[in-house]
Homo-oligomer: A and B are copies of this chain.
Amino acid sequence: MTDGARDRADELDRGDPLAGFRDEFLPSGDVLAYLDGNSLGRPPRAAAERLAAFVADEWAGRLIRGWTDGWLDWPQTLGDRLGRAVLGAAAGQVVVADSTTVLLYKLARAAVDARPGRTRIVLDTDNFPTDRYVLAGVAAERGLHLDWIETDPAEGIRPEQVAAAVGPDTALVSFSHVAYRSGWIADAAAITRIAHDAGALTLWDLSHSGGSVEVALDDWGADLAAGCTYKYLNGGPGAPAYAYVRAGLDVRQPIRGWLGTAEPFAMGPEHVPAPGARALISGTPPILGMVPLAASLDLIERAGIAAIRAKSLRLTGYALDLADAWLAPLGVTVAGPRDDARRGGHLMLRRPGFERVLAPLYERGVIPDYRRPDGIRVGLSPLSTSFREVHDGLAALRDLLARTPA
């Protein structure tokens, strides 16, 4: 069966219009199948070249002059590129800065402070720990109440759950667009309408969607969003994050540095916030850390997010086929959506005993993501992952599971 299946994988690779992009990423010597692009994306080849050129030509070559030559604008110019290519956001609403956690904190604080008198935040039990911790922390310090929606861990947040949770006291609703465990894509447009009907603001975590599924912040009418750039956006370990603030929404975030002011070099006595999304900037922007992201955006812009999403669906669809054929008989369940409309860029597979196959999988060069207690996430980064990799990775998993009691 394996040989025929491998032929099919190769056929899918031959028919893949984005196949050529795989060569744009650096190889990993001992890796047969990288199934964790949703945790850390591979490096674009150009990232290494860009970093070397940046150090020699810009940092060494321009020294302090680099700031006025352009670095000061990078958070916005890269943000605008992200907005256009990935987030469905017109210019002026996105900045690259800080980490996702810090930006979520700033945005959550800005949101609840922009809805004075409202006392509740709606969130869900299955959001990523950082999101839950940040929102709980903001609620605690501002004296607000948390309304927890119990989500099905194999699915995700549904509009009707949000409709039942919001009310006239809701200041903010905040969810992940793609659930980090199940891969469920929330209906962000519907949820945003429901939040707005209640007079609340929305804050979306796009970490698991940006670069793999289509995001349409402007069309959704979203208020605030943040996400990381080291997953499907291939920005590198700990690369800076991004944040979106809807045009016209007046935000006042709490971490006030000189570079988020309207006129930084005035260095005046008061912090006068810059207009728009630039007000989200606090300290000196992490310029060097943005260099690989610029290289990755070149690739994403060239491929186009619609083609990336189409390949993502083909990859996860193929992985579903193999899971059904090979893994289900071994006790594996797919703990996530099957439907194209709700299926993000990764699959969650569950089976007791997964922990025991992790080390031998790694030894064979198959790298998925393990989630306690019994989950393996298969994250398929569209530009850098081949169907052959999916085949080889799941075949190795099948062979190991066949020898591992549940």
- Chain A interfacial positions (CB closer than 8 Å to B): 25-31, 34, 36, 39-40, 42-43, 47-48, 51-52, 55-56, 58-67, 71, 98-102, 105, 128-130, 132-134, 136-137, 141, 228, 230, 236-241, 254-259, 261, 265-271, 282-290, 292, 362, 367, 369, 372
Contacts and interface: CB of A to CB of B under 8 A. Distances in A.
B286 A239 contact: yes
A148 to B, nearest CB: 10
A60 B258 CA distance: 36
Copies of this protein chain in the complex: 2
A52 B46 CA distance: 11
Contacts of A25: 60
* Most chain B CB inside 10 Å of its own CB: which residue of A31, A266, A282: A282
Contacts of A129: 258, 261, 267-268, 271
Given A55-B48, A64-B39, A257 B289 contact: no
A240 to B, nearest CB: 7
Given A51-B52, A101-B256, A238-B289, 18 more contacts: A25-B60, A29-B61, A31-B63, A36-B64, A40-B64, A40-B67, A64-B367, A98-B102, A101-B255, A101-B284, A102-B102, A129-B258, A129-B271, A133-B256, A133-B261, A136-B270, A238-B290, A239-B286
A51 B60 contact: no
* Most chain B CB inside 10 Å of its own CB: which residue of A40, A230, A257: A257
Given A102-B282, A255-B105, A288-B239, A63 B40 contact: yes
Given A42-B63, A65-B367, A282-B102, A237 B34 contact: no
Closest 10 CB pairs of A and B: A99-B283, A101-B283, A101-B257, A26-B60, A237-B287, A133-B271, A289-B289, A133-B256, A238-B286, A101-B282
A130 B283 contact: yes
A255 B60 contact: no
